[in-house]
Structure 1
Amino acid sequence: MARAYVENPDLNQSRASVRAQDEEAPKALAGKRPKASIQATAGWQVGAIKIPAGRSANGQRQFVDDAFSSFPRGATLAVLQTLFDGGRTESAFRQAESSVFAARSTLRLTEQAVLQNGAAAYMNVLRDTAITRLSRNNISVLEQQLRVTADRFSVGAVTQTDVAQAQASLAQARSQLYAAQAQLKTSIAGYRQIIGNEPRRLEPSPSVEPLLPKSLNQAITVALAEHPGVTAALHQVDAAEQAVKAAESVLSPTLSVGAQLTNERDAILGVPGTRQFAAAVVGQLNVPLYQGGGEYASIRQAKERLGQARLNADLQRDSVRASVVSSYGLLETAKASLTSWRAAEKAAEIALIGVRDEAKVGRRTTLDVLNAQQALLNTRVAIVVAQRDLVVASYAVLGSIGRLSADTLNLDVAIYDPSAHYDQVKVKWFGVETLGGP
């Protein structure tokens, strides 16, 4: 479980997705931060100027042609600061922040799925290993039974039919072993996919029932408050509310102030040697009146999406409630099933001993012994399956209430904290280096 928490690629890509979502916050804050730019121009210019030179004797105006070539160049530094934007930046930031919180809840969903799948993969390998071992033991028993039957046939105690029945049961057992081995290979592949390495020396794992609420009603209450599916939906509602405010801010006036410094040479009519320096500070007020109606459509659209987010929150609550009830039912079923199969195993063991004893004195047939042996095998396989189902169901219940986490399970790992990256990038004004983690 600890290895899956650290190395599972699905979980790590979800963490990277949250870190990418974190960057929406500084992008939103950029709306009220200053913007600065430098624009430089340079080029070559040729031209001619007619300069008035008075009038001739007959009164006609005279001009002197003056050709020139120059290298006009200049640079402009511009700074713009938004003072008021109708609350657009604040709403966009709160929307981004709510989306970050929703992404964290989605990450918790992925973490729960990985841990639950990891527990199931672990128990699947244990189950299939035990079933394979039982199948091998069954073959050994049936081989011994076949030898005994053959010996008894040689002395006329049983018929050829009894030998054939023993041979058929042995062949069937070998087929079951092959199926169990194939299933074990499949479970090992699933374990490798989720955990990241090959299973070695797996020990039986207890259920996590001590971590569960004492009753179903308590579990439902906890789930509705803590399940990441519910919290993600509620954060999405908050984000949708802020999206409505951001859309409405387009109708508000905006106020900004800008400063500009310009230095140019040889740029006035292209005359060489000319210089120009200018500085300006300008305030700008923009009052929107009508922009074609697109802004009103955006507001209506944002409101519809808000309604959709609220309905989705209700849907998530209903889904989580149903999941808790269902998972608790599966857990209770697994517990009752395990108790029943253990009782059946004791009865099957007694029955097998009795049938064997009766077969020795001719009161039971070889088929009766084989059937009793198969019944005992079936109950032991059912016990292994029920033990697996009980542990997996307990993890499913813990996940259904939203408490399946590395912290709750007390895994020996460094707990991933998504807020650390967010706190770093939220106040970051510049820089392109990433601050990602595992």
Structure 2
Amino acid sequence: MDSAASGKPQAAGLHTLSKGAAVVVALLSGAPVQAHAETLRSALARAYCGNPDLNQSRAAVRVRDEDAPKALAGMRPKANIQASAGPEYANLRFPAGRDQSGQRLFQLEKYTGWPRGTTLNLQQNIFDGNRTENSVKQAESNVFAARATMRLTEQAILQNGATAYMNVLRDTAVMNLRKNNIAVLEQQLKQTQDRFQVGEVTRTDVAQAEASVAQARSEFYAAQAQLKNSIANYHQLIGDDPKSLQPGASVEPLLPTSLNDAIGVALIEHPGVVSALHQVDAAELAVKVAESALMPNLSLNAQVSNQYDSFLGIPGTRQFSAQAAAQLNVPLYQGGAEYASIRQAKEQLGQARLNADLQRDSVRASVVSSFGLLETAKASIISGQAAVKAAETALAGVREEAKVGQRTTLDVLNAQQALLNARVSLVISQRDRVVASYAVLGSIGRLSAQELDLNVTLYDPTIHYEQVKTKWWGTDTPDGR
């Protein structure tokens, strides 16, 4: 559009329209950025850094990272120490020969001791049916799927943030258009009342002008309420109330040139598809993990034990032992649970593959839909600009004709309402174009802080994964918690 918003902010820090003839806010204009003004990119940068939903999603990925060292534990040595101590009372009765009459004699002994001891157990798996190897690969696939899910959340936050930003601009412009409309209609009412006083018009004309003012005020209050709702959504997503918002720009230069190209990119790069494919990989590995229950296991076990007062509770006794042995476990039949687990894992693999197909279909539909909305918004802007110019010309003509009695007051009011509606529709179309461009970028999987070149430090999920994936011990997280 050719017209632009006035730089004078309201108390809420939002742009107002110029007084006089109603001027539409240029939501897509390249107006220079004022000092301390908020741009769409700076608002999205704040959402990227501080949105709780996105930070929660990043934390979920860090949680999933810990599955890798848990899986690696399967082939790492295990050691434990067992210690015991406690009082023991023994009353022993054992044969002591026979007396002269042949009766068996018994000797009684009573002991009070304190048996105590420690045992060190060591175990090292040599072969576990490839369970650990496949579990590690499965954990990695789940980590990659979690990262893709995080990217989905990032896309949703950025897209919703852009929508909230543009909604505030749209609702501010609509509210100011309706406010200016009240001033115009009040002036029209005054002129109608003056003409009624001199007998040029009837009471009907005055009533029509009064009704138009009342309706305009009602629409203004509704626009105010809508703006407050948009500001609340903006605060929720961005983290602060909007202040001096600058016009938003479309991201069409970042989009593929055709719908077919966009679909091709989306089927490869969209995080939903990527996550689903990693889930298929994880499900395939889950089948192998379940099958390892049918494989033999070989481990090396060692035990060192030192016991005191442990032999029948007799004080002063001591027993030291050390043992090392290889243990082979060959499963034959364990009730059938392992077979059920394998069948279950295979069904889950089939489900994961179907989900991947579903994600591809969903992504394709989203690309087609968002592309269509963008084309519609662009066409609506062109027709809307023409409609505004035509409505302005019509209003000017009707007013001139009304001065010479060729038009009624109602004709003037209708022409004024038509111009207002055209300007509101144009503002909505401008907003829709920006929002639709972000929707298309998200539908192909490229809506990211890096692609938008936001002034932020990009979050790298691989850093935490590399810090913990081979960690042997320690309860502190990499950030010190």
**TM-score interval for Structure 1 and Structure 2 normalised by the shorter chain:** over 0.9
What is the rounded CA distance, in whole Å, between the counterparts of 1:364 and 1:300 in structure 2?
82
- The residue number in structure 1 matching 2:355 is 312
Q: After the TM superposition, which of the residue ranges 355-364 and 396-405 deviates more from structure 2?
A: 355-364
Mapping 1:178-327, distance limit 5 Å: 178-327=221-370
Q: Of Structure 1 and Structure 2, which has the larger fraction of its residues in helix?
A: 1
1:102 aligns to 2:129 (yes or no): no
User: 1:336-372 deviations in whole A, cap 9, x for unaligned?
Assistant: 0011000000011111111111111111111111111
State the AA in 1 paired with 2:184: V
Query: Equivalent residue for 1:371?
Result: 414
Corresponding residue of 1:393? 436
39-48 vs 59-68, which moves further: 59-68
Report Cα offsets for 1:84-111 as digits up to 9, x if no partner. 0010011111111101110110111111
Query: How far apart, CA to CA, are the structure 2 residues paired with 1:373 and 1:52?
Result: 122
Q: Deviations over 1:315-340 (max 9, x none)?
A: 11111111111110000000000110
8 A Cα contact 1:338 1:387, kept in partner: yes
SS in structure 2 at match of 1:289: coil
Pair 1:26-2:69 in alignment: yes
2:196 alignment partner in structure 1: 153
Q: Secondary structure at the match of 2:83?
A: strand
Provide Cα deviations, 1:171-220, integer angstroms capped at 9, x if missing partner: 11001101100111111111111111111111111100001011111111
Secondary structure at 1:290 match in 2: coil
**AA matched with 1:337:** S
TM-score of the superposed pair, with normalisation by structure 2: 0.89
Q: What amino acid is aligned across from residue 155 of structure 1 in structure 2? A: V
SS in 1 for 2:81: strand
Residue 436 of structure 1: how far off its partner (Å): 5.7
CA drift of 1:25 comes to 1.1
* C-alpha contact (below 8 Å) 2:90/2:312 kept by paired residues: no
* Residue in 1 that maps onto 2:158: 115
Contact persistence 1:33–1:82 (CA under 8 A)? yes
Among candidates 335, 358, 361, match of residue 401 of structure 2: 358
- Look up the match of 1:410: 453
RMSD: 1.5
Q: Does 1:420 align with 2:457?
A: no
Deviation sequence 1:239-268 (CA, Å, 0-9, x none): 000001011111110000111000000001
Report the 3-state secondary structure (helix = DSSP H, G, I; strand = E; otherwise coil) of the residue aligned with 1:225. Answer: helix
Aligned to 1:337: 380
Structure 2: any 5+ residue segments left out of the alignment?
A: 1-43
Cα distance, 1:293 vs structure 2: 1.3
CA distance in 2, matches of 1:55, 1:206: 111
Q: CA deviation at 1:150?
A: 1.0
How far 1:53 moved relative to its partner?
5.3
Shift of 1:49: 3.2
Q: Map 1:44-55; keep pairs closer than 5 Å.
A: 44-50=87-93
Task: Determine the structure 2 residue equivalent to 1:125.
Answer: 168
- Tell me the CA shift for residue 434 of structure 1: 2.3
Aligned-partner SS, 1:408: helix
State the distance in 1 between where 2:157 and 2:95 align: 88
In structure 1, distance between residues paired with 2:212 and 2:74? 78
The separation in 2 between residues aligned to 1:53 and 1:316, in whole angstroms, is 85
SS at match of 2:450: coil
Which residue does the alignment assign to 2:5? none
CA distance in 1, matches of 2:184, 2:198: 22
- CA offsets 1:282-337 (integer angstroms, 9 cap, x no match): 11000011111111111111111111111111111111111111110000000000
1:40 aligns with 2:86: no
- Taking a change above 3 Å as real, the CA distance of residues 436 and 117 of structure 1, as seen in their structure-2 partners, is farther
Answer yes or no: is 1:429 the counterpart of 2:472: yes
- Identity across matched positions, percent: 70
Shift of residue 50 of structure 1?
Answer: 4.2
User: How far apart are the structure 2 equivalents of 1:86 and 1:277?
Assistant: 35
Q: Quick one: distance in 2 between partners of 1:371 and 1:360?
A: 16
CA contact (8 A) 1:19 1:421 kept: yes
**Any idea what the Cα deviations from partners look like across 1:55-113, whole Å, max 9, x if unmatched?**
54555554443322110100000011111001001111111110111011011111100
Partner of 1:88: 131
Q: For the residues of structure 2 that align with 1:428 and 1:24, how far apart are their CA atoms?
A: 11
Partner Cα distance (2:418, 2:95) in 1: 122
Code of the residue aligned with 1:25 in structure 2: it is A
Decide which moves more: 354-363 or 120-129.
Answer: 354-363
Alignment match, 2:121: 78
Report the residue type matching 1:253 in the other structure: P
- 2:439 is paired with a residue whose SS is helix
Greater mean deviation of Cα atoms: 187-196 or 427-436 = 427-436
Shift of residue 45 of structure 1?
1.1
